[in-house]
A and B are shown apart, each in its own frame.
Chain A
Amino acid sequence: MTTIDTRPDTAVPGEQPSDSAVVSFFVGAAGWVVSTDHKRIGRLYLAAGSLALLATSVIGLILGLERVDDSAALLDANALLQVFQAYRVGLVFGAVLPLALGLSIAVAPMQLGARSIAFPRLALAGFYSWLGGLVLAMAALGANGGIGGGDSNAVDLFLAGHGLMILGLLASAVCVAASVLTTRAPGMTLRRVPLFSWSALVGSLGMLLVLPVAFGSIVYLFIDHRYTSLNFGGSEGIAAWVGWIFSVPAVVAFALPAIGVAAELVPVTFRARQAVRGVAFAGIALIGVTALSALTQQNTHAVTFDSSPLTFIEGAIPFVLLAGLPLLGLLIVMGLGGLTAKQGSSVGRPRIAAPFVFGFFGLGMIAVGLIGNALQGITDLELVGTTFEEGATLYVVYGAALSVMGGAVFWAPKMWGRTIADKLVMPLALLGVTATVLAALPLYLAGFVGQLGGIPANDPEVSAILSLDGVDGGALWMTLSLIGHGLMALTVFAFVGLMLKAFAGNGEMSEANPYGGHTVEWTSPSSLAPHANYEHVPTVASATPQFDMTADGSHS
């Protein structure tokens, strides 16, 4: 079989256990390293993304300490420029992209009734390309590379690492999108695709539209920096050309699968069918307009209220299209979620479990980030260049991470064969949302009082960002923000620990459908989805086959 081959539709037996512990270990490790099982590839992404998020939160904490007291000198002053960039690279390329893609890869094929993801070897190759690129980019930052870096070779390595990451992510995104479009079980039309898989499709298409644009710029930047540094401002010019990829609205397009998790969990929690599914699909697709917003790099709009009507309209039209439509999409998703909950209230009390709490708060955080994205586009508010943008990015990234955690807990029975106890996870959801609010909200407030932010391209810009002079309550806002980063690091650390415990087989053995899921993956009588997911490819006759099979539409 080649990279473009797909697993045959016949079951393949798994590896046979060996008597020798050493041999078993190596066979098991090799099984993970070269696995073409989409559940394993997805979990590799999730594990690596979680570790990167943990590291990024710690970096955010350290940067917060530097901001509160710039005389503390926790870090070498010459290293601060690189630390700022490690923070941004970690948030976007280390966390939100792999987490969203990882959950999509692990879950979407099961939801589609497929035996495998499309092009599994390509998906695995994408993971290794992304991981290698991330390591190279971070190593380059450690060697005085990155934006405004002093070592020319390390700057080139930083760009090459990003190129490698983008190629890997694109490869995996192609696999997810092709899976949703081509591997659906018989009877599963596109309108019957679960909401999460739909959001995975829209998110993957968003990545396929946005990431190549950044890649093209990186090719230019690499060659220009390597040979002349004439056209793009040398290493300091990198931020001007690809800085947009590390910020809203691009990160909203990347976080779309996380929004799908929340949309998926509302009907499950309230034991009702999703209200007006077609409109919910449209809502998720509208949020995908952020990809267009990122592509056109129209992050700000000349919406001025004290001008002539014509001037106002000229600024307001792109603002409404690029910043307003995604907000409308989010309102539709949330409104239909509310309607579904109302319909479910007639059946009985909702079963509020930890995944829903994660997803609900995650969606809320992303919504606040999206509102921030729209607000910063209004030039009259003078938020551009302040910490407001960092706050919006943090809301989206941390919110997406919370949603993905909820998704990992929800589908843990199918991925691990284990259920993670609500009493252990629920506090983490509450801690996570507290962390997100504490980390991001103060940056919103600081942005309104003029605290400088953004992605620094040189040491003077670092100094300007660290300086709190003339900013009312600046130290307080930064203190709260660093506490938020610390709490998020704690949340991720504890969550990874719980997952490792479950993975090691110490969690509770799961029922086949412990949360009362509605979609096709829950129809399997086994808890852990078997190798190749389904013994027989199922026939699907509705969007919620498991929900339909219960007598009264409620699970027991």
Chain B
Amino acid sequence: MSQLALPAAAMPAPRRQLFIGTALACTAATMMIGSMLAVWVLLRERYLTEGFAGAAVDRFPGKYIVPEVASNVMLMTVWALCLFAQWAVYAGNRGDRAHTALGLGVSALMAIAFINAQAFIYVDMGVVIHDTYYGTLFYALTGSMLALVAAGLVYTTVAAFRALSGRLGETEILSSHALYWYFIAVAYSAIWFVVYVTK
């Protein structure tokens, strides 16, 4: 058999690998949060119609009060976070190092503020995890969301190191980072509506 080889090509154009990878990861995380919300709604409806442990239950345990200011501020925080992440993308594309740093810095600050607000809700509501059916559901769902936000904070840190340590021209990580926060905003909006509004 003759030895054949294809001719060499020019170097392939960037295909936004990190952006696609982030999008795939966000898809998987959306499935996770979506399924957890589905289980939440399923059990809530089941307990409303069938009762829990032989007794009728309310839609939401009466002894707990949702701190609505904190939960609403968290919602505003994640959407504002998207704005700042997008600001970093805009600044990175223009080669503006100072504003990229500012955009990423404020994004990180917002993420920390979100985590702080979630911690406040935990303390203020005082949900006891082993008290009723509600405790485990509440901590599992909001804890998963918290873990995703913490992962986003790590992503912001990595993006800041990459973008500000001499690789400012590689703006793909900035747009991927922004995409992740858009996903977080959508996911938290759903959780906010189900857990804190309709309860």
Contact = CB atoms under 8 A, between A and B. Distances in A.
A and B associate in one complex? yes
Interface of A: 2, 4, 6, 9, 118-119, 170, 174-175, 177-178, 181-187, 208-213, 215-217, 219-220, 223-224, 227-228, 230-231, 295, 511-513, 520, 523-525, 535-540, 545-546, 549, 555-556
A182 B14 CA distance: 8
Given A174-B28, A212-B32, A546-B4, A220 B12 contact: no
17 contacts: A9-B11, A183-B12, A186-B13, A208-B31, A209-B27, A212-B31, A213-B31, A213-B35, A220-B136, A220-B137, A224-B140, A230-B132, A512-B1, A523-B5, A538-B8, A539-B9, A540-B6
A184 B141 CA distance: 38
Contact of A216 (B35, B52, B135, B136): B35
Given A220-B39, A512-B3, A183 B158 contact: no
B12 A186 contact: yes
Contacts of A4: 18, 21, 158, 173
A178 B24 contact: yes
A186 B10 CA distance: 8
B8 A208 contact: no
A4 B19 CA distance: 11
Contact of A538 (B9, B28, B32): B9
Contacts of A119: 17, 21
Contacts of B31: 208-210, 212-213, 216, 295
Given A216-B32, A230-B132, A536 B17 contact: no
A537 B8 contact: yes
Contact of A231 (B9, B25, B43): B43
A219 B140 contact: yes
A213 B9 contact: no
Interface in B177-197: none
A186 B140 CA distance: 46
Given A181-B20, A183-B15, A223-B140, A212 B8 contact: no
Contacts of B136: 220, 223-224, 227-228, 230-231
Contact of B39 (A185, A216, A540): A216
A35 to B, nearest CB: 20
A183 B137 CA distance: 41
B89 interface: no
A138 to B, nearest CB: 24
Interface of B: 1, 3-13, 15-18, 20-21, 24-25, 27-36, 39, 43, 52-53, 129-130, 132-133, 135-137, 139-140, 143-144, 158, 162, 173
A213 B27 contact: no
A231 B52 CA distance: 9
B17 A217 contact: no
A536 B5 CA distance: 10
A543 to B, nearest CB: 13
Given A182-B15, A511-B1, 10 more contacts: A118-B17, A183-B15, A186-B13, A210-B31, A211-B28, A220-B140, A230-B136, A525-B5, A536-B8, A537-B8
Contacts of B29: 212
Contacts of B143: 219, 223
Contacts of B129: 223, 227-228
Contacts of B1: 511-513, 555-556
Nearest to B17: A182
A491 B65 CA distance: 62
Nearest to B155: A4
Nearest to A516: B1
A320 B181 CA distance: 38
Contact of B4 (A228, A535, A549): A549
| Residue among A181, A295, A556 with max Cβ neighbours from chain B (10 Å) | A181
Contacts of B158: 2, 4
B138 to A, nearest CB: 10
B32 A215 contact: yes
A42 B3 CA distance: 27
A537 B32 contact: no
B133 A230 contact: yes
Nearest to A175: B21
